[in-house]
């Protein structure tokens, strides 16, 4: 199934980007990718912080 750009109606490339390099669609794709990378990094860092955290059970 072909997908088309919501902004300029060009057929999207296989990687989900618009062939028009100046199209706002590509900017949004980049922003969403950056957000996903930041969320993954934050989750990884939070996981490391939790793993390094020392907790004492009640009654121990």
At residue 3 the predicted structure's pLDDT band, cuts being 50, 70 and 90, is: very high
pLDDT at residue 53, rounded to an integer: 52
pLDDT at residue 18, rounded to an integer: 98
Could you tell me the residue range of the domain that residue 40 belongs to?
Answer: 1-60
pLDDT, tens digit (0-9, with 9 covering 90-100), for 34-57: 999 999 999 888 875 544 555 555
Give the other-Cβ count within 10 Å of 11's Cβ.
10
pLDDT at residue 51, rounded to an integer: 46
Interatomic CA distance for residues 17 and 23, integer angstroms: 9
Please give the sequence-ordered ranges of beta strands (E in DSSP) within the chain, or none if there are none. Answer: none
Interatomic CA distance for residues 19 and 21, integer angstroms: 6
Running DSSP on this structure, what letter comes out for residue 20? S
Number of domains making up the chain: 1
pLDDT, tens digit (0-9, with 9 covering 90-100), for 15-28: 999 999 999 999 99
């Amino acid at each position: 199934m072909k997908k088309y750009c919501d902004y300029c109606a060009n057929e999207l490339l296989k990687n989900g980007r618009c062939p028009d390099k100046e199209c706002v669609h590509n900017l949004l794709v980049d922003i969403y990718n950056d957000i996903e990378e930041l969320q993954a990094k934050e989750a990884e860092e939070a996981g490391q912080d939790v793993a390094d955290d020392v907790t004492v059970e009640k009654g121990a």
